[in-house]
């Protein structure tokens, strides 16, 4: 069976492959958005475990993903994207089952890190598997559909996850991945076609640089998470902060001296890429802090149920989903820089407004709802366009490397954002506006900083050029 698009004929198997791989990467996105809603329920289950430890359920996933994304993309080019995709979704599904059955917090953290391994091997290969199945003239449409599925997963995650937690248990948000992943593998074996990159299996891969750099980020995260519990002057906390620049320096040295580095430093010579990627790391720190802190606030300070919380936080991702198409038109018209800066400032103003207006008594409509709409528009303008800003002017041969590097920067920002919330708000016993208000103000400062970096160093728009 085939489907005609204009004068071109596209096999139905290509469409099945597109939606199948989109489901694969949507699982990881859905899991992350749902977990923010589930975190207070997990805290209640493991009430004897400090929040700083339980936060590794989220930060451990982000750090492990950052360590593996570039490696996964390189291995997929060498050994085959179909093989790596199946490996990734199988590991993700099995680890999800382990998360759902985990008897202790430590086992849950371990299985989340294994889940990150599967996610890192699944997401970079999902799009590259289907692109060759479509005519070159339709590949922009393929990317748009793939991205739309991800956006829908992000928007649908809070209410779906909240319903599962309300009527079953937080464990089922993990367990449900197993049968879906199995179905993707079984169907995918029939429709997905193997393809590889240009590198041979004899290529020397740097297995040292990026993991060492990720260890530096892990130590920075550990210091931020444990600082409030151990004391900011504790020798182990200070050691974490001291070792971080050393390990990041080793990453730079290794990447500049190895013949096949995972982190190709040449892309940082491109001004647009380096500025956009740095801004993306800073901006995503605030984004992950927002998605984590809002559900925790509603459930621990306001005492709301997971279901009510899930519905309450849905407006922001819905605005992101609905606004993305309009924002794309702005970028195509040469307003990329202006749109991103406007979005960052909207996000800064929205989080500052929440910090001022939110009270300990539920005041959702006056203290949160309006700001959640403006925040969602800020994300639609900035968050969804930063990747495009990073890739403007990148040569086709470096596109995969640049995209993987910018995604790694975004993932590192996610880990640091959760650590920021725990460092400022403290543990579960600090359920008050006073505990969370510094978090909202810090987010506003982070967004303002990202805007300052972008507007100062990113080249000006050339109206009509699409850049």
Lowest mean pLDDT among 66-70, 210-214, 316-320, 388-392: 388-392
- Per domain, the residue ranges of the chain are 1-201, 206-261, 266-467
Q: Is the pLDDT of residue 67 over 70?
A: yes
Write down the residue that tokens 């004897």 correspond to: 48
CATH fold for the domain made of 266-467: Growth Hormone; Chain: A; (1.20.1250)
Average pLDDT of 12-24?
83
Sign of torsion over alpha carbons 225, 226, 231, 232: negative
Q: Specify which residues 3 forms β-bridges with.
A: 10
User: What's the pTM?
Assistant: 0.88
CATH (one of 1.20.1250.20, 3.40.50.300, 3.40.50.1100, 1.25.40.10) for 1-201: 1.20.1250.20
Average pLDDT of 63-70?
87
Which of 327, 340, 399, 393 has the alpha carbon at shortest distance from 127?
399
Between the alpha carbon of residue 21 and those of residues 89, 135, 136, 413, 443, the distances in Å are: 10, 18, 19, 25, 34
Q: What is the DSSP string of 24-42?
A: HHHHHHHHHHHHHHHHHHH
User: How high is the pLDDT of residue 465?
Assistant: 47
Q: For the segment 75-132, what is each residue's pLDDT rounded down to a tens digit?
A: 887 888 889 999 999 999 999 999 999 999 999 999 999 999 999 888 878 777 887 7
Cα–Cα distance, 424 to 437 (Å, whole number) = 9
Cα–Cα distance, 443 to 421 (Å, whole number) = 9
Which of 318, 320, 343, 339 has the alpha carbon at shortest distance from 329?
339
Structure letter (DSSP) for residue 90: H
Half-sphere exposure of residue 351, counting CA atoms within 13 Å on the CB side? Answer: 29
Query: CA triplet 382, 387, 393: central angle to 5 degrees?
Result: 120
Give the contacts of 421 (CB within 8 A, at least 6 positions apart).
289, 292, 293, 296, 439
Length of the chain: 467
314 or 8: which leads in pLDDT: 314
Which of 293, 335, 38, 329 has the alpha carbon at shortest distance from 161?
38
| Two structure tokens written together for 104 | 């202790």
Q: Specify which residues 10 forms β-bridges with.
A: 3
Which of 16, 29, 44 has the alpha carbon at shortest distance from 303?
44
Radius of gyration of the chain (CA): 21
Q: For the segment 219-257, what is each residue's pLDDT rounded down to a tens digit?
A: 999 998 888 778 889 999 999 999 999 999 999 999 888
User: How high is the pLDDT of residue 7?
Assistant: 52
Average pLDDT over the chain, rounded to whole? 86
Cα–Cα distance, 334 to 280 (Å, whole number) = 20
Would you call 19 exposed, middle or buried from its count of C-beta atoms within 10 A (0-12, 13-18, 19+)? middle
Chain-centroid distance of CA 438 in Å reads: 23
DSSP SS3 for 133: helix
pLDDT band at 35 (very low <50, low <70, confident <90, very high): very high
Q: Is the pLDDT of residue 182 over 70?
A: yes
Write down the residue that tokens 């890192």 correspond to: 120
């Amino acid at each position: 069976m085939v489907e005609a698009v204009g004068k071109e004929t596209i096999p139905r198997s290509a469409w099945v492959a597109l939606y199948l791989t989109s489901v694969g990467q949507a699982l990881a996105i859905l899991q992350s958005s749902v977990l923010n809603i589930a975190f207070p329920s997990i805290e209640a289950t493991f009430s004897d475990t400090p929040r700083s430890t339980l936060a590794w359920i989220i930060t451990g996933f982000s750090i492990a993903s950052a360590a593996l994304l570039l490696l996964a993309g390189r291995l997929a080019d060498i050994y085959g994207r179909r093989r790596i995709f199946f490996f990734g979704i199988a590991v993700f599904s099995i680890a999800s089952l382990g998360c759902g059955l985990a008897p202790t917090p430590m086992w849950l953290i371990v299985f989340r890190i294994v889940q990150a391994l599967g996610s890192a091997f699944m997401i970079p290969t999902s799009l590259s598997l289907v692109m060759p199945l479509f005519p070159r003239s339709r590949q922009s449409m393929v990317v748009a559909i793939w991205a739309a599925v991800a956006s829908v997963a992000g928007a649908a995650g809070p209410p779906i996850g909240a319903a599962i937690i309300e009527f079953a248990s937080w464990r089922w948000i993990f367990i449900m991945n197993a049968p879906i992943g199995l179905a993707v593998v079984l169907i995918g074996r029939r429709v997905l076609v193997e393809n590889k990159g240009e590198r041979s299996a004899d290529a020397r891969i740097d297995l040292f640089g990026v993991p060492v750099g990720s260890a530096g980020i892990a130590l920075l995260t550990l210091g931020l998470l444990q600082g409030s519990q151990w004391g900011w002057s504790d020798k182990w906390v200070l050691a974490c902060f001291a070792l971080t620049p050393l390990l990041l320096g080793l990453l730079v040295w290794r990447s500049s001296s190895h013949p096949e580095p995972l982190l190709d430093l040449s892309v940082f010579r491109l001004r647009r890429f380096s500025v956009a990627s740095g801004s993306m790391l800073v901006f995503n720190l605030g984004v992950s802090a927002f998605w984590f802190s809002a559900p925790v606030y509603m459930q621990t300070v306001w005492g709301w149920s997971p279901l009510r919380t899930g519905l309450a936080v849905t407006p922001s991702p819905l605005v992101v989903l609905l606004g993305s198409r309009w924002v794309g038109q702005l970028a195509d018209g040469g307003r990329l820089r202006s749109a991103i800066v406007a979005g960052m400032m909207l996000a800064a103003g929205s989080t500052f407004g929440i910090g001022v207006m939110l009270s300990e008594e539920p005041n959702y409509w006056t203290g949160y709802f309006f700001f959640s709409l403006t925040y969602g528009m800020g994300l639609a303008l900035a968050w969804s366009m930063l990747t495009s800003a990073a890739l403007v002017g990148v040569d086709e041969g470096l596109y995969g490397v640049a995209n993987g590097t910018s995604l790694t920067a975004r993932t590192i920002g996610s880990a640091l954002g959760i650590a920021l919330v725990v460092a400022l708000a403290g543990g579960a016993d600090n359920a008050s506006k006073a505990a969370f208000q510094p978090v909202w103000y810090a987010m506003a400062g982070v967004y303002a900083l990202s805007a300052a970096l972008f507007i100062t160093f990113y080249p000006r728009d050339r109206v009509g050029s699409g850049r």
